């Protein structure tokens, strides 16, 4: 690495894509200068109420990342700033940044907001609220802003414009107001630049037929997001601007300006999904509201989105209408809106009256994009977005060292933007060096001494999460109740506990009240626990003196129809959490070295890309491919994308680049057969199936990129029975070998085996790439066989932003026929007859075809064995399940293992490449640091109690515990470097000699006791393993699957952690039932913990029967992280069974 390389990398734009790039680079050890032109980071995502398809609270999942940017010592945050000038080249850019005058000294500003209350200029349209509300001239843009500091709007300030007022100066007690402040130019030298400036949307008033701004009850989709938000101008109430009354009949109109030659000729990509999301959330807010959606083609762009739209139709009863309205008129008396539209399903022109109309207006490049491109010296494409090298590359700009990510390159959703942000970070890092260890050193305040017998002083912080929690339970009542609990010295509610403001409050209260333990009752520990642990550590408390209570995923979101019971359950959960917290002890993380090598499983384009990015940073890479050559599906494709890149030539060039990297070792005809260890130190066995040899590897990180393959539609349309019926990939081969005959009639049938609600007919998801593939092949056939006739039978056409023009070009010479009912294909005397009902013309057609081409989905390979080896989950469709669909799409929940390409889900080549880079960037975090901190969730043996029975040794699957001589005494010893923290040994120990750090018996037993003190009848205590069933309960909550309020969950790391004594105690104290949830057999994160749980469960059945308790009161279920619906079903069923049996205390009801 060159000595004169800088460690600086600049990120322009502070939305989710910029945030992800910045954090990825900072965690790798680079210095990041983040430039954001507004006064807070967060971008568009901060304005959203929910995200699709999970309906996560948008600010809730974004805020922890915003806070992390502000607190990360490797990030220099320049908000309210703009890039002024860029000179130089990759590795040595000179950048001038203008820090605009804020007229507030942010070093002094506390973000109290008192200045805003005194400001007389209160009628300034609020940009964050999309003009739906007002702000003052001195303002904080939104409650969760980072940094949470005031800014003075110079154009509207009375003093700066008219030399009057200065009320804010008089009100500010800390003296932060400075009217003498001026713009400042700061110069930086950076190795590379990432552009993540996001997008804007058209003003719909340019389209007269919608009467936007003329009719008050016509709003944009982003304005509607703010109406839905609890922190918005109406506090989450869906109120009409005309009369402030609730809207009960709402229309969503798609393609407002999009796919319009006169406005935006392209698809804005994510509008269909947010219309469905907003419709679903509307029905959640007000179930009596009727929602109608008008669309051209429903389009989805990611994983689980097709299923979400079907659920919106079926469960939430959204009504979908083919056809975009041509006119809107207002009733002058009621201010209702009469929408005139063609219903293409019926062929009729209809007029329908609505209370409110929401416009899905087109996405356009951000204002200032052209100016910024000129400063950077990079090009824009014909649509005005930043241009990239070619259609397979959506990160590299037209200038080396400058990379683009997110919607500034093309409209994209959050998940794709996050994946690409990691990819951009990987490329940007090639032009910089990491900071030295000394430069990255962080000084934290000394830890407060919390002695074993010191009286607990607990602070409880209860989150409203807008209406996500506060809308379904009585938060003040829960806060009031928590104040009565033992050792609670302070309790309060927060609108959003994850905001930077609440983090500051928590730190202040720890100092002010000498708190020595903290409880936060909010969303889920799976996403937010690290945020609060870091916060209390910054206040001098050990991070393991924190406890998270889930009252959203495990309560408000799954009991939306019963506020009283949800409130009572929240009280119980908080009481249980406080009971555990009283016995929490400080713990110290275990530091380990990282083996500076990586394993890539899968040698397709995504795996190859990941391998190359890691090797370019100087780390050894082992790539394992089961086939005899690299390239995956590229070996089968003829032409790539609409620029007709020759797939063979493209792959050869990639292989040439790949083979030049000496740090990569390739294992062909091979598969992984064994995986041991954890992040930083995985032990791998790889078997060469051809030579029957086994290699042993040690690596610090693993990337899974096993790919996918084309679904073979056996049972559809005589496929495999008649050679004239083929798939798109088989057609590609015929085009390559020039086997077609000019003048033939070809019929393409879309969605064969995909988008099926009946699992017997195929897959439920959209494969995302099939429509584009079909259009490419249709155009290619017409170009090379001009006399051939092509008919494309489709449900919806789904293409990307830059692909839309090719679709319209294809329609000029290709017959497109839309269907609702699938076509029929009959073979009569050697002739293929295709019958289809065209919904656009309402005509039944009979087409004589020479060939039938079926568009079928990408399906995953059989990943079950590999998922079991790696202990990572699969989703309901057999693809690998990411840690979080939006914000961690390339991570698994298991540290050190990452995900890329079509192993994650269907996607095109450019997305697969970007995700490969994103996975590489995340894998490089532990590799570059060289150290990893493991959670101190380990077993500790008390030698004075150990009887050397070896029960612990028998159940440990990691060789972490065993009996040895301690002097002359035979006792068990635990190795914390090998222990994984499952707790199976503690459950097995007959002498009670083993304690599990942070999940000790004295921390869990009080939770059982407090759970049973509930007024809920019947009452079920539920033990849920962290990795699967608890994650499944989370998924259930996010998906809003409802179940009875009767269970009180207790999280443990593994179902094997649950000793028989826990279950017996629960029954002894009065539980009516006990539920145990674990991983499916073979999927246990700790190899075989669930086998031991099952054995103890069977033994308990016999014990319960002997003591007179009905064994059916105890239930064991395997629920994976993706099985949210199943979790709701098994809990509902168990509650029903317990109700049938009756209360435990009732005679005869045992």
* Strand ranges, E, within 37-119: 50-51, 56-57, 75-79, 81-89, 92-99
Task: Give the tens place of pLDDT for each residue, 843-883.
Answer: 999 999 999 999 999 999 999 999 999 989 999 999 999 99
Q: How far is CA 418 from CA 379, 412, 911, 972, in A?
A: 23, 10, 11, 46
pLDDT band at 1147 (very low <50, low <70, confident <90, very high): very low
The Cβ-side half-sphere exposure at 997, using a 13 Å CA radius, reads 20
How far is 355 from 334, CA to CA, in rounded Å?
9
pLDDT band at 1150 (very low <50, low <70, confident <90, very high): low
pLDDT band at 348 (very low <50, low <70, confident <90, very high): confident
Residues 238-262 have a mean pLDDT of 96
Summary mean pLDDT of the chain:
95
pLDDT of 994 over the 50 cut: yes
How far is 22 from 14, CA to CA, in rounded Å?
9
Residues 647-656 have a mean pLDDT of 96
Nearest Cα to 301, choosing from 1024, 800, 986?
Answer: 800
- Give the pair of three-digit tokens for residue 409: 């390159």
Top CATH class, 449-585: alpha beta
Give the right CATH number for 201-361 from 3.20.20.70, 3.50.50.60, 3.40.50.10490, 3.40.50.150.
3.50.50.60
How far is 437 from 73, CA to CA, in rounded Å?
13
Task: Give the tens place of pLDDT for each residue, 1080-1107.
Answer: 988 888 989 999 999 999 999 999 999 9
Cβ contact 644:392 at 8 Å = no
What is the pTM assigned to this prediction?
0.92
**Look-up: residue for tokens 């292989």?**
655
Task: Give the tens place of pLDDT for each residue, 660-687.
Answer: 999 999 999 999 999 998 899 999 999 9
Q: Where are the domains of the chain?
A: 1-99+183-198+366-447, 101-182, 201-361, 449-585, 593-631+659-701+872-931, 710-859, 938-996, 999-1150
Degrees to nearest 5, angle at CA 401 with 400 and 402: 95
Q: How far is CA 237 from CA 115, 163, 557, in A?
A: 28, 40, 18
Q: pLDDT value at position 966?
A: 66
Q: pLDDT value at position 598?
A: 98
* Neighbour tally for 13: CB within 10 Å: 28
Degrees to nearest 5, angle at CA 37 with 36 and 42: 50
How far is 624 from 793, CA to CA, in rounded Å?
40
- Can you give the three-state secondary structure of 1063-1103, one letter per residue? HHHHHHCCCCEEEEEECCCCCCCCCCHHHHHHHHHHHHHHH
Q: pLDDT value at position 852?
A: 98
Cβ contact 168:380 at 8 Å = no
Q: pLDDT value at position 350?
A: 92
pLDDT band at 2 (very low <50, low <70, confident <90, very high): low
Q: How far is CA 143 from the centre of its chain?
A: 23
Task: Give the tens place of pLDDT for each residue, 748-789.
Answer: 999 999 999 999 999 999 999 999 999 999 999 999 999 999
* Neighbour tally for 174: CB within 10 Å: 11
Task: Give the tens place of pLDDT for each residue, 890-943.
Answer: 999 889 999 999 999 999 999 999 999 999 999 999 999 999 988 999 999 999
How far is 117 from 100, CA to CA, in rounded Å?
24
Q: pLDDT value at position 1040?
A: 92
Q: How far is CA 743 from the centre of its chain?
A: 49
Degrees to nearest 5, angle at CA 625 with 622 and 629: 115
350/452: higher pLDDT: 350
Residues 424-438 have a mean pLDDT of 96
Task: Give the tens place of pLDDT for each residue, 146-163.
Answer: 999 999 999 999 999 999
- Can you give the three-state secondary structure of 211-245, one letter per residue? CECCECCEEEHHHHHHHHCCCCCCCCCCECCCCCC
pLDDT of 1074 over the 90 cut: yes
Nearest Cα to 1028, choosing from 926, 905, 1130?
Answer: 1130
Fold classification of 593-631+659-701+872-931 is: FAD/NAD(P)-binding domain (3.50.50)
Residues 540-566 have a mean pLDDT of 97
Q: pLDDT value at position 1?
A: 47
Percentage of the chain beyond pLDDT 90 is: 90
* Contacts (Cβ under 8 Å, ≥6 apart) of 1147: none
Which phi and psi angles does 585 have, rounded to 5°?
Answer: -125, 150
Residues in the chain: 1150
Residues 128-134 have a mean pLDDT of 94
CATH number of 999-1150: 3.40.50
pLDDT of 132 over the 60 cut: yes
Residues 688-701 have a mean pLDDT of 96
- Identical fold, 593-631+659-701+872-931 and 938-996: no
Q: How is residue 407 annotated by DSSP? A: G
* Contacts (Cβ under 8 Å, ≥6 apart) of 300: 272, 273, 306, 308, 309, 766, 768, 798
pLDDT band at 66 (very low <50, low <70, confident <90, very high): very high
Sign, Cα dihedral of 594, 597, 602, 604: positive
Say which CATH architecture domain 710-859 belongs to: 3-Layer(bba) Sandwich (3.50)
Q: pLDDT value at position 344?
A: 81
pLDDT of 1148 over the 60 cut: no
CATH superfamily of 1-99+183-198+366-447: FAD/NAD(P)-binding domain (3.50.50.60)
Q: How is residue 769 annotated by DSSP? A: S
CATH number of 938-996: 3.30.70.20
Fold classification of 101-182 is: Alpha-Beta Plaits (3.30.70)
């Amino acid at each position: 690495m060159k000595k004169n390389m800088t460690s600086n990398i600049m990120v322009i734009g502070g939305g989710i894509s910029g945030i992800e790039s910045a954090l990825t680079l900072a965690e790798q050890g680079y210095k990041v200068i983040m430039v954001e032109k507004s006064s807070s980071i967060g971008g568009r995502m901060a304005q959203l109420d929910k995200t699709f398809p999970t309906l996560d609270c948008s600010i809730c999942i974004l805020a922890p990342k915003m806070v992390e940017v502000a607190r990360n010592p490797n990030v220099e945050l320049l908000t309210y700033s703009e890039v002024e000038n860029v000179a130089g080249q990759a590795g040595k850019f000179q950048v001038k940044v203008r820090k605009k005058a804020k007229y507030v000294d942010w070093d002094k500003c506390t973000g109290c907001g008192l200045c805003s209350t005194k400001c007389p200029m209160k009628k300034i349209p609020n940009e964050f609220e999309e003009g739906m509300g007002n702000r003052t001239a001195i303002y904080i843009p939104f409650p969760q802003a980072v940094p949470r500091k005031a800014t003075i709007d110079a154009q509207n300030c009375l003093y700066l414009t008219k030399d009057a007022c200065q009320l804010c100066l008089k009100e500010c007690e800390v003296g932060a107001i400075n009217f003498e402040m001026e713009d400042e130019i700061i110069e930086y030298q950076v190795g590379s630049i990432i552009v993540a400036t996001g997008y804007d949307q058209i003003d719909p008033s340019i389209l007269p037929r919608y009467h936007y701004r003329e009719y008050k009850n016509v709003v944009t989709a982003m304005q509607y997001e703010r109406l839905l938000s609890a922190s918005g101008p109406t506090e989450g109430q869906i109120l009409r601007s005309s009369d402030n009354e609730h809207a009960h009949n709402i229309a969503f109109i798609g393609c407002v300006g999009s796919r319009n030659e006169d406005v935006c000729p392209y698809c804005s990509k994510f509008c269909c999904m947010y219309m469905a999301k907003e419709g679903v959330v509307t029905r959640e807010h007000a179930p009596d509201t009727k929602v109608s959606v008008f669309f051209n083609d429903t389009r989805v762009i990611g994983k689980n989105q097709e299923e979400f739209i079907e659920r919106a139709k079926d469960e939430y009863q959204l009504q979908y209408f083919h056809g975009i309205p041509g006119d809107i008129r207002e009733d002058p008396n009621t201010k209702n809106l009469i929408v005139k539209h063609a219903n293409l399903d019926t062929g009729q022109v209809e007029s329908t009256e609505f209370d409110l109309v929401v416009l899905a207006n087109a996405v356009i490049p951000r204002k200032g994009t052209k100016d910024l491109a000129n400063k950077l010296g990079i090009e824009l494409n014909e649509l005005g977005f930043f241009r990239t090298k070619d259609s397979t590359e959506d990160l590299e700009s037209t200038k080396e060292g400058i990379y683009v990510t997110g919607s500034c390159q093309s409209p994209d959703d959050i998940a794709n933007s996050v994946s690409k942000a990691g990819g951009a970070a990987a490329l940007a890092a090639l032009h910089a060096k990491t900071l030295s260890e000394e430069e990255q050193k962080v000084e934290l305040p000394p830890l407060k001494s919390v002695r074993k017998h010191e009286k607990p002083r607990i602070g409880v912080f209860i989150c409203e999460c807008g209406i996500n929690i506060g809308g379904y339970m009585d938060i003040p009542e829960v806060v009031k109740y928590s104040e009565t609990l033992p050792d609670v010295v302070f309790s309060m509610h927060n609108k959003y506990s994850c905001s930077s403001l609440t983090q500051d409050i928590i730190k202040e209260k720890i100092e002010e009240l000498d708190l020595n333990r903290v409880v936060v009752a909010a969303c889920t520990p799976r996403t937010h626990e690290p945020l609060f642990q870091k916060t209390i550590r910054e206040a001098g408390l050990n991070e393991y003196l924190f406890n998270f209570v889930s009252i959203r995923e495990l309560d408000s979101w799954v009991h939306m129809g019963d506020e009283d019971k949800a409130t009572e359950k929240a009280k119980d959960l908080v009481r249980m959490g406080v009971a555990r917290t009283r016995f929490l002890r400080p713990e110290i993380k275990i530091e380990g070295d990282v083996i500076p090598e990586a394993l890539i499983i899968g040698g397709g384009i995504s795996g190859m890309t990941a391998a190359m990015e890691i090797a370019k940073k100087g780390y050894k890479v082992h790539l394992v491919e089961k086939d005899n050559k690299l390239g995956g599906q590229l070996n089968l494709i003829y032409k790539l994308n609409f620029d007709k890149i020759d797939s063979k030539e493209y792959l050869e060039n990639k292989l040439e680049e790949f083979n030049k990297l000496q740090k990569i070792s390739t294992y062909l005809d091979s598969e992984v057969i064994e995986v041991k260890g954890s992040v930083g130190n995985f032990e791998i066995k790889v078997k060469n199936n051809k030579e029957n040899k086994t290699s042993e590897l040690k690596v610090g990180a693993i990337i899974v990129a096993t790919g996918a393959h084309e679904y073979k539609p056996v049972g559809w349309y005589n496929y495999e029975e008649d050679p004239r019926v083929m798939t798109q990939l088989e057609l590609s081969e015929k085009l390559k070998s020039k086997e077609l005959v000019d003048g033939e009639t070809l019929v393409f049938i879309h969605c064969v085996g995909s988008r099926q609600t009946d699992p017997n007919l195929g897959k439920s998801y959209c494969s995302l790439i099939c429509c584009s593939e079909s259009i490419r092949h249709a155009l290619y056939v017409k170009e090379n066989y001009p006399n051939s006739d092509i008919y494309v039978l489709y449900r919806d056409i789904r293409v990307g932003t830059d692909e839309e023009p090719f679709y319209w070009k294809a329609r000029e010479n290709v017959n497109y026929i839309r269907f609702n009912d699938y076509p029929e294909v009959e073979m009569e005397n050697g002739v293929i007859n295709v019958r289809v009902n065209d919904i656009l013309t309402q005509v039944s057609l009979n087409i004589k075809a020479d060939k039938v081409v079926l568009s079928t989905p990408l399906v995953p390979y059989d990943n079950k064995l590999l998922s079991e080896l790696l202990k990572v989950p699969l989703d309901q469709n057999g693809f690998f399940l990411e840690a979080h669909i939006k914000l961690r799409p390339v991570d698994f929940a298991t540290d050190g293992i990452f995900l890329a390409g079509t192993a994650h889900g269907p996607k095109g080549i450019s997305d697969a490449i970007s995700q490969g880079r994103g996975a590489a960037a995340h894998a490089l975090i532990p590799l570059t640091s060289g150290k990893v901190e493991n959670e101190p969730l380990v077993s500790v043996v008390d030698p004075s109690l150990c009887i050397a029975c070896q029960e612990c040794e028998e159940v440990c699957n990691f060789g972490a515990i065993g009996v040895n001589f301690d002097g002359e005494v035979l006792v068990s010893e635990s190795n914390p470097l090998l222990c994984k923290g499952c707790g199976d040994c503690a459950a097995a120990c007959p002498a009670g000699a083993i304690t599990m750090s942070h999940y000790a018996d004295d921390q869990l037993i009080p939770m059982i006791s407090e759970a049973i003190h509930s007024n809920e009848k019947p009452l079920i205590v539920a033990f849920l393993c962290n990795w699967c069933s608890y994650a499944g309960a989370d998924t259930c909550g996010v998906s809003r699957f409802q179940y009875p309020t009767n269970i009180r969950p207790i999280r443990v790391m593994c179902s094997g952690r649950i000793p028989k004594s826990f279950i017996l105690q629960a029954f002894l104290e009065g539980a009516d039932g006990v539920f145990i949830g674990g991983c499916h057999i073979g999927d246990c994160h700790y190899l075989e913990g669930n086998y031991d749980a099952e054995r103890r469960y069977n033994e308990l059945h016999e014990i319960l029967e002997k003591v007179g308790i009905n064994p059916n009161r105890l239930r064991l279920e395997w629920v994976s992280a993706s099985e949210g619906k199943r979790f709701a079903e098994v809990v509902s069923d168990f509650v029903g069974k317990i109700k049938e049996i009756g209360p435990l205390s009732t005679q005869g009801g045992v």
